[in-house]
Structure 1
């Protein structure tokens, strides 16, 4: 949701914000002096999978409207399979909560026939998604970090956040992970265990516990639901993201928050539409703008501009727009801390990373605390689109 029209465009220098009700030390080394990262943040690349497709049915058709149950969605899918002589063994999964549809292995001819069917809204190649590059530094933090001090923090206890990523370290002492609802959508990695670190880092920014150790999350103590859609190498499929979103649609409640610090390097209408469908149900999204130094409108789902969907660019501790961050006031709603961010990491560790992947969870924490009532603290300096993004804040 682009709020630029209702927010002052006056550019100011970022100041310090006090952390609310914080037991953790907010002094010493965590001052606002971090500069650009020493190495490039992660970038996402994607490649089409030749034989796997995501198919969404046309909502105007009597047999393919958005369904309320998996059984009804399966009936609509079976009717199409019979009509086009597609074997049931080609079906991977039926979709029902983001829109009626399915994921299946298809021949090019079957895909073309489905695309021409009036009951079908879209047929889209599945894509392999991969974390292309990036680096991190393992650290031993003892302070509230600059990003949390800037945006503010509060108590997220009793609330839930859904994180689609590389999984989360379920045993990290500084996180409250809901292992019952958490799921892996990676076939050869059935555990939610984070073998990469990216997802655990995101989780800590949102909800690291307010205790006497480690770091502090924006919404400390929030219940973290890990949806593992990327493996230990940072690789997955767009269909995995679709499956995770479908799972959220089946289990989340209006007002709950989804963080997506990932995406494709191209447009995916299936992914965009899935996010919009859930947002229409009142689910709130914090989505990374991307780290390609280009327009955020060129990649999904960061390009989605809709109510309850917030795309986030990155700033450093001096309030400067991060050199790596994607931009564009047509889809980017807010800027948030994304340079040299210390947070939880895999295997019980802590690490420093940079990227819009780190900016989005700062906003997700704000959404957990305040819903869509997002405050601002000035605007990003040197925004390349010429219209500075407002810097998100909880208070």
Structure 2
């Protein structure tokens, strides 16, 4: 059944929503205690990336921010006038203090987007007040995100030999009733799904028939759109996700939930997934006619970004504005809940952030702290279920946070180089829901994001609070109609196309 309450984001503008939520925290209530402060040091010579938000989207505010960046010894890497966001680099320790002095009333918030130097450097065509890259002190770079985190590369990946068509092995098709929905429609070529991820192997024989290279982009070069094919066509995680959504029915390998819709790679993940990468991805899909995005990642380098801290708030504010802007352009976003067995409503500590530079601190978190992106507004948050219909032991959860459940255990899909593998993770659950939304959009091309999301939740099959796989993690809360494990229930592709 559909939620009894309507998300405030559907009724308020991004500016109005964020002005309230940044002050009061989640659910409109002020946090009881402030979260533990985290200081990110930026010594002279260390090139850092910053997100800077204008007071509003008026052109004058953005221009003033760009001038202030130059006066403060920084360089504007990318501006998004549609949402009033500037991405800037600087190698000056005093940059933040000078921005406050020079930007004044034109600036809403600013903060560094990472705790380490900018590994990718500043794009060559951006004028900078400092010397060439070789003259900068970058410092030692840590291991990549895939070495340190579990949310991009799914746990327990098991390679499977390429064989004859594998549809009979795809339990997710039956669990979502996609096999029955395909008797009605396999999707429309007019529907375009963005795979915001590590990149997609567009040459894979199961993906090539549905792949749209003209709509693909890489956003991991400091948060600027890069159309170079070699940069957006790599990344095993994104290839697996893409196959779940739209592997073609072509007599080869596997079949996607929506095997006739188009997909495109919107690369937002490299070694790390920084806020400016996701802002770029959302602004790209908003400008290029996408209908649905799948977001199977979390944003580095914090597990929880606390909006009662000004510098962390800046990234939350910018990402939320980009997400809402894309939704206002007609795009529905699915989001993987996460793979930690957490109940978000009960999380009060974080001992792993910031983690990109190995400098994590033990800290208290509160209701203002958000796991980005699944605790943002305008996201359909998806938990992972197993073949026996239970919550996967690794799946994150939370009453009022999880929207729906979908298959996320031993899900067979495409991998780089033309192969196939069974992977686990909420990263696999979210694209199952995205595929159902793609079928729904195909059957109802005039439906708005509000209508699509409402129908997805209303049509979901109610699921009682059964114990999770291996009975681990916080207990289920709520009713069969809406609970902390499965939200409104498990996705139903057949109802989506009726």
TM range (shorter): 0.7 to 0.9
In terms of fraction of residues, the more helix-rich structure is: 2
Deviates more, 1:52-61 or 1:324-333: 52-61
User: What is the alpha-carbon distance in structure 2 between the residues aligned to residue 367 and residue 114 of structure 1?
Assistant: 43
1:194-237: per-residue Cα shift (whole Å, max 9, x none)?
54410000000100112222111111122111011223xx5343
> What secondary structure, in the 3-state scheme, does the structure 2 residue paired with 1:317 have?
coil
- Residues 335-374 of structure 1 mapped to structure 2, 5 A cutoff: 335-371=405-441, 372=452, 373-374=455-456
Partner of 2:123: none
- Residues 149-168 of structure 1 mapped to structure 2, 5 A cutoff: 149-153=174-178, 154-158=185-189, 159-168=191-200
Q: Which has the higher contact order (CA 8 A, sep 6+)?
A: 1
User: What is the alpha-carbon distance in structure 2 between the residues aligned to residue 62 and residue 229 of structure 1?
Assistant: 27
User: What is the alpha-carbon distance in structure 1 between the residues aligned to residue 339 and residue 40 of structure 2?
Assistant: 21
Deviates more, 1:345-354 or 1:297-306: 297-306
Q: 2:217 aligns with which of 164, 183, 204?
A: 183
Partner of 2:26: none
Deviates more, 1:188-197 or 1:123-132: 188-197
Q: 1:324 aligns with which of 373, 376, 394?
A: 394
Q: Are the structure 2 counterparts of residues 348 and 48 from structure 1 closer, same or farther at C-alpha, using a change threshold of 3 Å?
A: farther
Max radius of gyration: which structure? 2
Partner of 1:257: 292
> What secondary structure, in the 3-state scheme, does the structure 1 residue paired with 2:200 have?
coil
> What secondary structure, in the 3-state scheme, does the structure 1 residue paired with 2:248 have?
coil
Tell me by how many angstroms 1:272 deviates. Answer: 2.7
User: What is the alpha-carbon distance in structure 2 between the residues aligned to residue 288 and residue 295 of structure 1?
Assistant: 14
Q: Does 1:305 align with 2:377?
A: yes
Partner of 1:224: 263
> What secondary structure, in the 3-state scheme, does the structure 2 residue paired with 1:219 have?
coil
In terms of fraction of residues, the more strand-rich structure is: 1
> What secondary structure, in the 3-state scheme, does the structure 2 residue paired with 1:226 have?
strand
User: What is the alpha-carbon distance in structure 2 between the residues aligned to residue 178 and residue 192 of structure 1?
Assistant: 15
Partner of 1:288: 336
Tell me by how many angstroms 1:278 deviates. Answer: 1.9
Tell me by how many angstroms 1:290 deviates. Answer: 0.7
Partner of 2:202: 170
User: What is the alpha-carbon distance in structure 1 between the residues aligned to residue 492 and residue 434 of structure 2?
Assistant: 11
Deviates more, 1:327-336 or 1:47-56: 47-56
1:335-385: per-residue Cα shift (whole Å, max 9, x none)?
111011000111111111111100100111111121412121231633634
User: What is the alpha-carbon distance in structure 2 between the residues aligned to residue 178 and residue 48 of structure 1?
Assistant: 40
RMSD after superposition: 2.8
User: What is the alpha-carbon distance in structure 2 between the residues aligned to residue 62 and residue 178 of structure 1?
Assistant: 33
Tell me by how many angstroms 1:142 deviates. Answer: 1.5
User: What is the alpha-carbon distance in structure 2 between the residues aligned to residue 49 and residue 338 of structure 1?
Assistant: 39
- Give yes or no for contact 1:290–1:296 (8 Å, CA) kept in 2: no
User: What is the alpha-carbon distance in structure 2 between the residues aligned to residue 142 and residue 250 of structure 1?
Assistant: 36
Tell me by how many angstroms 1:100 deviates. Answer: 1.6
Partner of 1:147: 172
TM-score by length of 2: 0.62
- Give yes or no for contact 1:229–1:240 (8 Å, CA) kept in 2: yes
Deviates more, 1:356-365 or 1:140-149: 140-149
User: What is the alpha-carbon distance in structure 1 between the residues aligned to residue 397 and residue 412 of structure 2?
Assistant: 23
> What secondary structure, in the 3-state scheme, does the structure 2 residue paired with 1:185 have?
strand
Partner of 1:237: 274
User: What is the alpha-carbon distance in structure 1 between the residues aligned to residue 214 and residue 438 of structure 2?
Assistant: 20
Partner of 1:36: none
1:6-34: per-residue Cα shift (whole Å, max 9, x none)?
8xxxxxxxxxxxxxxxxxxxxxxxxxxxx
Q: Does 1:137 align with 2:158?
A: yes
Tell me by how many angstroms 1:156 deviates. Answer: 2.3
Q: Are the structure 2 counterparts of residues 102 and 300 from structure 1 closer, same or farther at C-alpha, using a change threshold of 3 Å?
A: same
TM-score by length of 1: 0.77
Q: 1:376 aligns with which of 460, 467, 473?
A: 460
> What secondary structure, in the 3-state scheme, does the structure 1 residue paired with 2:72 have?
coil
Q: Are the structure 2 counterparts of residues 261 and 55 from structure 1 closer, same or farther at C-alpha, using a change threshold of 3 Å?
A: same
Q: 1:273 aligns with which of 301, 316, 321?
A: 321
Q: Are the structure 2 counterparts of residues 350 and 58 from structure 1 closer, same or farther at C-alpha, using a change threshold of 3 Å?
A: same
Q: Does 1:101 align with 2:85?
A: yes
User: What is the alpha-carbon distance in structure 2 between the residues aligned to residue 118 and residue 376 of structure 1?
Assistant: 47
Q: 1:120 aligns with which of 87, 107, 126?
A: 107
